[in-house]
Structure 1
Amino acid sequence: MGRSLCAGFPSPADDYVEEALDPARLIITNPASTFMWQITGSSLISKGVNDGDYAVVDRSLTPKAGDVVVAVIDGLPSAKHVVRLRGGRLALDYANPAMGPLILDEASEAMIWGVITWTLTPHRPAPR
């Protein structure tokens, strides 16, 4: 992993850094079950997930309350927030105060496809 980023004066120790930068080592812990998706929409802004971010999704993790996940709802993949309801049951919801609660009707089918472990925000996207 890279060292921390100094927001003041550079450290004299910077001249002795030898490790090559490899963000994948930090971000991907289980390559066989890790995928990347691009986020569209603003339903998770309270969790720091923004429109245009890239989500790193690990399918090997068991979701828990507080996680952001990729859920397949009625056949469509969607990023959602996992919340704990009264009584201990887990449910999916938005993480945007401008949106009401997520309500699925009785005929809806939902399954969690994977847990979002990281989001990457492009500050200067590469030209396409």
Structure 2
Amino acid sequence: MGPAVCAGFPSPADDFLEEALGLPRWLVPNPPATFLWRVSGSSVIGAGIHDGDIVIVDRSAEPAHDDIVLAIVEGVASLKRYRINGNRATLSFDSPDLPATPIEDIAEATIWGVVTTSLRLHRPLVRGRR
């Protein structure tokens, strides 16, 4: 297959393309192990993470007590609060109304990464709208 061909008007910015836009190192210290995920739902709203937010997840970070982690629970990616109670690790929703579950009591659970940052994107203001 040959190189791609432009099927429209060339962009004046094409002369200035160098590399993909990257996030700053202070925000993402380990880029090869870091992923962005869009949040769906409100199970960790107590941590200030809302539906529609973007979370930065570092796969190389070891979870510590009280971290928010991305866990794969029975095949489903889910944000959970990671806690250590004595010598037992638990995953829970960040809500006092929902129970914590010891990881060993879950048929399939894997800690995929640690949430290092959450970002809330606001819809930009549009001229003429209030």
TM over 0.5: yes
Question: Larger C-alpha radius of gyration, 1 or 2?
Answer: 2
Q: In structure 1, list runs of 5 or more residues that go unmatched.
A: 1-21
Contact 1:42–1:96, Cα closer than 8 Å, also in 2: no
Aligned counterpart, 2:31: 31
Aligned counterpart, 1:47: 47
Residues 125 and 24 (structure 1), Cα distance of their counterparts in 2 relative to 1, 3 Å cut: farther
- Alpha-carbon distance in structure 1 between the residues aligned to 2:68 and 2:35: 14
Residues 26 and 101 (structure 1), Cα distance of their counterparts in 2 relative to 1, 3 Å cut: same
- Alpha-carbon distance in structure 2 between the residues aligned to 1:29 and 1:107: 32
* Secondary structure at 1:24 match in 2: coil
Aligned counterpart, 1:10: none
Aligned counterpart, 2:6: none
For 1:1-128, what aligned pairs fall within 5 Å after superposition? 24-85=24-85, 87-97=86-96, 99-103=97-101, 106=105, 108-124=107-123
What's the C-alpha RMSD, in Å, of the aligned pairs? 2.4
- Alpha-carbon distance in structure 1 between the residues aligned to 2:75 and 2:67: 21
* Secondary structure at 2:46 match in 1: helix
The Cα shift of 1:103 comes to: 3.8
Residues 83 and 34 (structure 1), Cα distance of their counterparts in 2 relative to 1, 3 Å cut: same
* Secondary structure at 1:36 match in 2: strand
Q: In structure 2, list runs of 5 or more residues that go unmatched.
A: 1-21, 126-130
- TM-score, length basis structure 2: 0.71
The Cα shift of 1:106 comes to: 4.5
Letter in 2 for 1:122: L
* Secondary structure at 2:25 match in 1: helix
Letter in 1 for 2:27: I
Aligned length: 104
